């Protein structure tokens, strides 16, 4: 376990600003809004703020408030935050981010978990997925969710935790479930966050699911409409990364505006509570400075071409649904006795959109588990 601090060379910061100054912008088509991607006026404003107003060193210092480490597992450097609580009753909790995100997603969640005003406290372990953030560069191909789950089990073993909970959303939710399936002797429970649109997107990859839905039922009809929209309108970002990550990666690591547009589009589409520009640009900056745009795409390719989905969890399960509606119950295979909480607002990034609500649900779920 090697102590780690985020220390981006000033030359890299200066190079970013130079590239943002020398952008070659495409011509804008009038009256298209968000229908064809990020509007140029919105993207220009973000890029200008990234160049002239965003304080990377302040965000770097915020990341460095928390103890960080790297270790090598299965030939891959893994970066992680390990923040221990002073509370004697604190329970270990392994939290895993998704796409397009990073451990910066948890910066506003860690405090309420480690030092809550009341209720259960946690020791938080937050790894960067292989190929993301400072878990770069990729050591090779094959970093699927199953392989990641096995690495996380080893990480928690090295940290000496005999009992621990797991939490995540998006890719992190899949990894967390697989960790629980792989290590039920040590995992106390698995907690996953989702939302109606993420659930529908995942449903597009479940063979035969659409055939089992009744188009005359209003809830099933809503699900079918969302599945069709994802297939025809919203899945382009995934299709190209699942098939041509190397080609896409050339643009993501060479053009900061390409990387900015790639992530800003998803923050716009996948949230309904505000995430400020500094939060967005912290995530984008981590992708830019580490070249994670390309390596993250390679891991998405590997998962798309893998049959390794791990074993199902056999530990207590909890679900927090943000922006909840009646469709999610039909799409999420939750056991009858699962903990289930629905929140009216928030979507794909609840740790950033609604950290207080998410922290409270984690305390409620894991508090009684031993």
Catalytic residues: 170, 301, 348
**Backbone torsions φ then ψ of 162, nearest 5 degrees:** -80, -30
Please state, in angstroms and as integers, the Cα–Cα distance from residue 20 to each residue in 71, 231, 273, following that order: 34, 33, 28
**Backbone torsions φ then ψ of 183, nearest 5 degrees:** -130, 50
Q: 123 has which bridge partners?
A: 92
Residue 165, both tokens: 């909970």
Cis ω on the peptide bond leading into residue 137 (within 30° of 0)? yes
Question: CA torsion angle for 21, 23, 29, 33 (degrees, to 10)?
Answer: -60
Q: For the chain, how many helices (H) and strands (E)?
A: 17, 9
**Backbone torsions φ then ψ of 181, nearest 5 degrees:** -70, -35
C-beta neighbour count of 301 within 10 angstroms: 19
């Amino acid at each position: 376990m090697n102590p780690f601090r985020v220390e981006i060379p000033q030359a890299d910061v200066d190079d970013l600003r130079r590239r943002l100054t020398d952008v070659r912008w495409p011509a804008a088509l009038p009256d298209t809004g968000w229908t064809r991607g990020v509007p140029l006026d919105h993207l220009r404003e973000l890029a200008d703020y990234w160049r002239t107003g965003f304080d990377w060193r302040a965000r770097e210092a915020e990341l460095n408030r928390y103890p960080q480490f790297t270790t090598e597992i299965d030939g891959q450097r893994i970066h992680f935050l390990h923040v221990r609580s002073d509370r004697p009753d604190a329970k270990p909790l392994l939290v895993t981010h998704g796409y397009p995100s990073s451990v910066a997603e948890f910066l506003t969640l860690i405090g309420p978990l480690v030092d809550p005003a009341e209720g259960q406290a946690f020791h938080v372990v937050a790894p960067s997925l292989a190929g993301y953030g400072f878990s770069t560069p990729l050591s090779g191909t094959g970093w699927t969710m199953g392989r990641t789950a096995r690495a996380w089990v080893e990480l928690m073993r090295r940290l000496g935790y005999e009992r621990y909970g797991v939490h995540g959303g998006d890719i992190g939710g899949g990894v967390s479930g697989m960790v629980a399936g792989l290590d039920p002797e040590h995992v106390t429970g698995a907690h996953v966050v989702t939302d109606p649109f993420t659930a529908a997107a995942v449903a597009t990859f479940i063979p035969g699911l659409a055939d089992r839905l009744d188009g005359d039922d209003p809830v099933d009809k809503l699900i079918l409409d969302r599945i069709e929209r994802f297939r025809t309108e919203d899945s382009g970002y995934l299709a190209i990364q699942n098939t041509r990550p190397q080609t896409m990666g050339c643009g993501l690591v060479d053009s900061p505006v390409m990387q900015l547009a790639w992530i800003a589009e998803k923050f716009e589409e996948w949230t309904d509570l505000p995430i400020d520009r500094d939060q967005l640009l912290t995530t984008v900056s981590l992708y830019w400075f580490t070249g994670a745009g390309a390596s993250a795409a390679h891991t998405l390719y590997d998962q798309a071409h893998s049959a390794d989905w791990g074993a199902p969890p056999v530990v207590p399960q909890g679900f927090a649904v943000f922006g909840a509606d009646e469709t999610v119950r039909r799409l999420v295979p939750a056991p009858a006795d699962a903990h289930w909480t629905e929140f009216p607002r928030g979507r794909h990034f609840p740790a950033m959109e609604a950290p207080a609500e998410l922290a409270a649900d984690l305390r409620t779920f894991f508090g009684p588990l031993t």
